[in-house]
A = this chain, B = another copy of it.
């Protein structure tokens, strides 16, 4: 094994997936700068990146479609935010993908190992590797871990503000009290679905479904806002 090529077992452990055919993993980690340097017809990760782009899109789209009762325009914006280079690069950094890449000498010297475009492309190629090796379900589990986490914890997604918006409207009248009640929890562990009602005093003023309690609460708050005429 060449000195700069890391053992990939820790990577498989961190991403929670063990390859049956490590060829796909090897290709995912091979940047074109390395393949070009080696010549001898070595495959770079570019073709897998092409496929991974589409695998990512169907997984994220399917999840958003079923989780959020948003209009097409909002779904499209959310999807774009999840699959953009910035997000993919953040996902890749969470498991130090850059450390495992095979880069050409020039690219290595110019800091390619931390370059966002290289990390985002390699993330897509790795996703395709899981898809080619194990099918759509392990690919889905891999991606949704990052996506759900991002949707729940990144403040810049506008829809996470529905609860706050609703709270601000309701608290103008100090006697009113808002509460969120979980009324349903279903589905297998990796694909749970929650239904939450938002109550104003003892009245149900909205309900929503989501892949987490938090996103179901947001959906419920959004419905309440819509029914109150506060939100498109």
Contacts and interface: CB of A to CB of B under 8 A. Distances in A.
Interface of A: 46-47, 49-51, 53-55, 57-58, 60-62, 65, 71-72, 75-76, 79, 136
6 contacts: A47-B65, A47-B71, A50-B65, A50-B75, A54-B58, A54-B60
Contacts of A75: 47, 50
A46 B71 contact: yes
**Chain A at the B interface: SS class:** helix
Given A57-B57, A136-B136, A50 B76 contact: yes
A136 B76 CA distance: 21
A33 to B, nearest CB: 14
Q: Counting chain B CB atoms within 10 Å of each CB, which of A46, A49, A54, A65 scores highest?
A: A54
Contacts of A65: 47, 50-51
A91 B53 CA distance: 24
Given A46-B72, A50-B61, A51-B62, 13 more contacts: A47-B65, A47-B72, A50-B65, A51-B61, A51-B65, A53-B57, A53-B61, A54-B60, A54-B61, A54-B62, A55-B58, A57-B58, A58-B58
